[in-house]
């Protein structure tokens, strides 16, 4: 706007200067032609010579017509006529041929038109140059030509006087700088474009208007245009091609639609019934599971208010009133529903099912006020729960019977055994002086040994069966100190064995008495069954799978065949029936380790030795084990 006013001011100033120059030329001309008559007389005036008069007036008229517009040219032509008036009215200068009085005005008119024509062409050339300079002043030469957008210098009629390279690339006509409005504007948008031009020249600028251009080949190109007025009749338009953007937007919409369909199809495959509600509590969408659960057409529900949909669903439920009251309160308060279990009654095509209802309000940055309702079919889960409940009841009964059996074994069976063992021991002690025949004494001693083994079997069986879970018995145990105490307790039974204990055994969470039983059993077995002249036992550890400690007891004994590495952990299984013991020790060790959420196994090479390994978790186990054996 400021630039336009300055240009108009300069144009008015230039026009005013041209008028003064024209007036000055005529004053000088009049002074030279007829002013000389004052001192010398009319016959001695310069204008008295017809050729001189016509030449001077012709040159002045041409110059003035060149400088001024058509109105100024008309005035200059009249002025030239006035300066030739003495030739027509003063007798001394009367033309000898009267026809010259008519020829001279026509001659002057021709000179005036010629001057004005040359002036017009020169003005157009100057106008184009100044316009180009103003455009380049606004955009810069390189920016104008190399812009990624179309830039047109247009007249107030919409015709293009100059355009940049991008215009030639998109619209065509590469050899033409100027274009008519009918050539590059889409016919359906021509009137709209003219209205925009009118607004542009009235307000001085135009911002982000959309219309269509037309290329040389007839292709419609959607553009966003903005413009700035340069002069009263010239403006610069910049048009951004929206074709590629629209193509990308179209592809994006297609992609979004594909993803939306993918999500909807994915939700449709779920067994979980899903209903979406908008902020007005009208149903937006439901998946296929809603159809299958309630035997209602989901398409009929779309757009219905919530209370009508609830009514359709509640008609199939056992506790319909509770369901409706719960949902209505949740919707009014904006709260969610975490857990509501009900049953779908069979009939009218519906299958008896147990469902769980949840409702979650949508409160995100992009959307508020809607809800998502879930209807989960938990019929199978309830059936499994019932089966689990029944199996638990059966297991409780079995455990009760097992405890009763343990009591029977511990008391009713062990007491007679210990009584019989006591009588045999008393008989043998009273008749130790040889009163009994050797055969009888041998038989009694065999019976005594069998009764002792039976008593130990009862003790081990009771100990194995009476282990119970006690999560409060776990505590932090110094494994190194515990192993040292075990070796001290074994005393003479391992005095001939070289026992090596790692110095950095870790602290673990366990039941101390039971962990002691594991180490004691493994170390004693390693010593008892060693057949080497220099028996050796090594106790060590290492991290195991990041969340556990692995302890091992390694010996250099005879080794165990691979077929027996699993059998030895079964209760009352012995590889050597001639050795003392019941074969329950490793089974008890396995039970203890597994109740600590670890595992135990053996690795062996015949003639080289055996390694027993077991794991204990780093963190406290979820359950503890304590023996109630008596």
CATH number at residue 178: 3.30.450.20
Domain end call among 356, 377, 398 = 377
For residues 498 and 587, membership in a common domain is answered with: yes
If pLDDT is split at 50, 70 and 90, which confidence band does 245 have?
confident
Instruction: Give SS3 for 132.
Output: helix
CB 361 within 8 A of CB 371: yes
User: How do residues 492-528 score in pLDDT, each as one tens digit?
Assistant: 888 889 999 999 999 998 888 889 889 988 999 899 8
Which of 12-16, 134-138, 302-306 shows the lowest mean pLDDT across its residues? 134-138
Tell me which residue range forms the domain holding 416: 383-465
Write down the pLDDT at residue 569.
Answer: 84
Higher pLDDT, 314 or 256: 314
Reduced 3-state DSSP string for 364-426: CCCCEEEEEEEEEECHHHHHHHHHHHHHHHHHHHHHHHHHHHHHHHHHHHHHHHHHHHHHHHH
If pLDDT is split at 50, 70 and 90, which confidence band does 628 have?
very low
Q: For residue 509, give the nearest of 561, 549, 464 by alpha carbon.
A: 549
CA distances from 285 to 79, 256, 277 (A): 90, 17, 7
Residue 247 lies in a domain: no
For residues 485 and 620, membership in a common domain is answered with: yes
Number of domains, the chain: 5
User: How do residues 98-136 score in pLDDT, each as one tens digit?
Assistant: 555 555 666 666 666 676 677 677 766 666 666 655 555
User: How do residues 525-540 score in pLDDT, each as one tens digit?
Assistant: 899 888 898 999 999 9
Instruction: Give SS3 for 531.
Output: coil
Tell me the mean pLDDT in the region 322-327.
Answer: 91
In this prediction, what percent of the chain has a pLDDT beyond 70?
66
Distance CA 596, CA 602 (A): 18
Domain end call among 448, 465, 482 = 465
Residue 254 lies in a domain: no
Residue 88 lies in a domain: yes
What element of type H or E holds 363? strand 353-363
Q: For residue 427, give the nearest of 443, 415, 416, 413 by alpha carbon.
A: 443
Q: For residue 622, give the nearest of 589, 590, 600, 595 by alpha carbon.
A: 595
Distance CA 508, CA 619 (A): 8
For residues 371 and 293, membership in a common domain is answered with: yes
Write down the pLDDT at residue 398.
Answer: 74
Higher pLDDT, 619 or 485: 485
User: How do residues 169-184 score in pLDDT, each as one tens digit?
Assistant: 899 998 888 899 989 9
**DSSP string covering 465-519:** HTEEE-TTS-EEEEHHHHHHHHHHHHGGGGTTSEEEE-TTPPEEEE-HHHHHHHH
Q: For residue 594, give the nearest of 568, 574, 622 by alpha carbon.
A: 622
For residues 619 and 493, membership in a common domain is answered with: yes
Burial letters 396-425, b for 16+ CB under 10 A, else e? eeeeeeeeeebeebbeebbeebeebbeebe
> Across the strands, what pairs with 478?
507
For residues 478 and 581, membership in a common domain is answered with: yes
User: How do residues 391-433 score in pLDDT, each as one tens digit?
Assistant: 888 887 877 766 666 666 665 566 676 677 776 777 777 777 7
User: How do residues 569-594 score in pLDDT, each as one tens digit?
Assistant: 886 566 555 555 556 778 888 888 88
For residues 229 and 279, membership in a common domain is answered with: no
Write down the pLDDT at residue 247.
Answer: 76
Distance CA 446, CA 346 (A): 73
Contacts of residue 69, defined as CB under 8 A and 6 or more positions apart, other chains included, come to: 116
For residues 346 and 366, membership in a common domain is answered with: yes
Distance CA 534, CA 609 (A): 13
The end-to-end CA distance of the chain, in Å, is: 108
> Across the strands, what pairs with 154?
160, 235
Write down the pLDDT at residue 466.
Answer: 57
**The domain that contains 473 carries what CATH number?**
3.30.565.10
């Amino acid at each position: 706007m400021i630039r336009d006013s300055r240009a108009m001011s300069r144009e008015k100033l230039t026009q005013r200067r041209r008028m003064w120059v024209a007036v000055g030329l005529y004053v000088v001309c009049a002074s030279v032609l007829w002013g000389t008559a004052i001192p010398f007389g009319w016959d001695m005036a310069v204008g008295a010579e017809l050729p001189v008069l016509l030449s001077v007036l012709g040159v002045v008229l041409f110059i003035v017509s060149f400088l001024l517009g058509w109105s100024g040219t008309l005035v200059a032509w009249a002025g030239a006529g006035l300066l030739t008036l003495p030739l027509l009215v003063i007798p001394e200068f009367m033309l000898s041929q009267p026809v010259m009085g008519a020829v001279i005005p026509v001659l002057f008119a021709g000179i005036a038109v010629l001057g004005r024509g040359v002036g017009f062409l020169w003005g157009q050339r100057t106008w184009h140059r100044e316009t180009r300079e103003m455009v380049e002043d606004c955009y810069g030469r390189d920016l104008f030509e190399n812009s990624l957008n179309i830039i047109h210098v247009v007249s107030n009629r919409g015709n293009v006087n100059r355009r940049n390279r991008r215009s030639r690339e998109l619209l065509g006509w590469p050899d033409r700088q100027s274009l008519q409005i009918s050539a590059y504007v889409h016919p359906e948008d021509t009137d709209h474009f003219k209205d925009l031009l009118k607004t542009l020249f009235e307000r001085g600028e135009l911002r982000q208007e959309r219309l269509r251009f037309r290329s040389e080949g007839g292709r419609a190109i959607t553009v966003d245009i903005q413009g700035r007025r340069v002069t009263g009749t010239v403006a610069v338009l910049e048009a951004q091609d929206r074709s590629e953007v629209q193509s990308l937007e179209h592809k994006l919409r297609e992609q979004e639609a594909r993803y939306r369909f993918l999500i909807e199809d994915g939700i449709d495959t779920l067994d979980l019934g899903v209903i979406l509600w908008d902020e007005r509590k009208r149903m937006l969408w439901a998946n296929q599971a809603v159809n299958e659960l309630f035997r209602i057409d989901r398409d009929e529900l779309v757009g219905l208010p919530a209370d009508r949909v609830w009514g359709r669903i509640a008609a199939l439920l056992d506790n319909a009133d509770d369901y409706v009251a719960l949902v209505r309160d949740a919707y009014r308060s904006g709260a969610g529903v975490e857990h509501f279990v009900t049953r779908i009654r069979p009939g009218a095509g519906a299958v008896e099912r147990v469902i769980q209802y949840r409702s979650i309000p949508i409160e995100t940055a992009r959307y508020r006020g809607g809800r998502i309702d879930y209807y989960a079919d938990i019929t199978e889960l309830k059936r499994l729960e019932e089966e689990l409940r029944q199996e638990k009841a059966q297991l409780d009964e079995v455990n009760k019977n097992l405890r009763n059996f343990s009591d029977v074994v511990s008391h009713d069976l062990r007491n007679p055994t210990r009584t019989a063992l006591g009588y045999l021991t008393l008989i043998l002690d009273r008749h130790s002086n040889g009163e009994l025949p050797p055969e009888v004494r041998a038989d009694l001693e065999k019976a005594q040994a069998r009764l002792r083994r039976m008593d130990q079997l009862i003790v081990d069986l009771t100990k194995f069966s009476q282990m119970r879970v006690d999560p409060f018995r776990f505590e932090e145990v110094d494994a190194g100190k515990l192993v040292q105490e075990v070796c001290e307790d074994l005393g003479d039974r391992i005095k001939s064995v070289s026992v090596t204990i790692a110095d950095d055994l870790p602290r673990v969470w366990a039941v101390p008495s039971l962990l002691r039983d594991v180490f004691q059993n493994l170390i004693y077995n390693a010593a008892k069954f060693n057949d080497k002249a220099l028996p050796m036992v090594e106790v060590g550890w290492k991290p195991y799978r990041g969340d556990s400690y692995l302890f091992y007891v390694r010996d250099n004994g005879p080794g165990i065949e691979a077929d027996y590495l699993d059998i030895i952990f079964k209760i009352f299984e012995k590889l050597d029936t001639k050795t003392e013991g019941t074969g329950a020790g490793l089974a008890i060790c396995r039970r203890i380790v597994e109740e600590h959420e670890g595992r135990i196994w053996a690795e062996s090479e015949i003639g080289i030795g055996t390694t027993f390994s077991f794991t204990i978790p780093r963190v406290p186990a979820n359950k503890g084990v304590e023996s109630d054996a008596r």
